[in-house]
Amino acid sequence: MYQIAPSILSANFAKLGEEVDNVLASGADIVHFDVMDNHYVPNLTIGPLVCEALRKHGVTAPIDVHLMVKPVDRIIPDFAKAGATYITFHPEASEHIDRTIGLIKESGCKAGLVFNPATPLDVLEYTLPKLDMVLLMSVNPGFGGQKFIPYVLDKARAVRKMIDAGKYNCRLEIDGGVGPANIKEVAEAGVDTFVAGSAVFSKYNANDKNRYDTIIGELRAELAKAKK
Ligand SMILES: O=C(CO)[C@H](O)[C@H](O)COP(=O)(O)O
Ligand SMILES: [Fe+2]
């Protein structure tokens, strides 16, 4: 089943709870939560306190924590306590990938690995059976609103083959530059979970009350056209 995961990186942070409520009420499935540390990536965003605040505000949807931080391990228990559902990390940001996956699972969360556009997929040979999510970056990490990098579609096809061959219960997510113009093509490459930040939060006039219904509806209409 296809799932849409708006990235709150492009939301209005001055009224984040309301933004998340509205986008979920419009039919989004997952909250994509970008954590940047000004070290692994050249930008600084939000941490466990904000994740906890969303839970306290009443958000019950899955929260998909995309860690763009180095080191990774010491922040995992904090995000688990704060209510993360998925915790995904970049393999090059961890000294011991297997240990980090274990830490995420032991903390009660679902674990995922994130691959930058030019990062090879070789670590999946050993890790895929343990993963709940593979996240393919279709932009270089650090900022919203960048252009989709098309060669990532080949990576998506390759990961889809691996997941299907092993019959793994693992979602295949894509992140960066996804919107109504390309989501169908991305789905046809085997992706089932779609992060969209600027397409969801920045495209429409903030005064338009139905703007999230409109964009989520457009994304779903495109997905309905995708050939299986
Ligand atoms: O991880 C990210 C950037 O590092 C964001 O999730 C991503 O860029 C989403 O934004 P957009 O849909 O605007 O490209
Ligand atoms: Fe992200």
Provide ipTM, 2 decimals.
0.98
Return the best residue to mutate from 136, 146, 201 for the ligand 1 pocket (most ligand atoms within 8 A of CB). Answer: 146
Using an 8 Å Cβ cutoff, are 209 and 26 in contact? no
Helix (H, G, I), strand (E, B) or coil at 137: strand
Distance, in Å, from the CA atom of 185 to the CA atom of 222, rounded to the nearest integer, reads 9
Percent of the chain past pLDDT 70, that is, above it, reads 99
Q: What is the CATH number of the domain that holds 83?
A: 3.20.20.70
Q: Residue 226's CB: how many other CB atoms inside 10 A?
A: 15
pLDDT on residue 86: 99
Q: Could you tell me the residue range of the domain that residue 174 belongs to? A: 3-224
**pLDDT-based confidence at residue 202 (cuts at 50, 70, 90):** confident
Give me the pLDDT at residue 208, please: 79
Candidate of 143, 215, 219 to mutate for ligand 1, largest count of ligand atoms within 8 Å of Cβ: 143
Q: Does residue 46 have a pLDDT over 90?
A: yes
Rounded Cα distance, 175 and 169, in Å? 20
**pLDDT value at residue 204:** 67
Query: Is any atom of ligand 1 closer than 6 Å to the C-beta of 6?
Result: no
Domains: count for the chain: 1
CA of 8 to the centre of ligand 1 (A): 9
Integer Cα distance of 40 and 61 in angstroms: 28
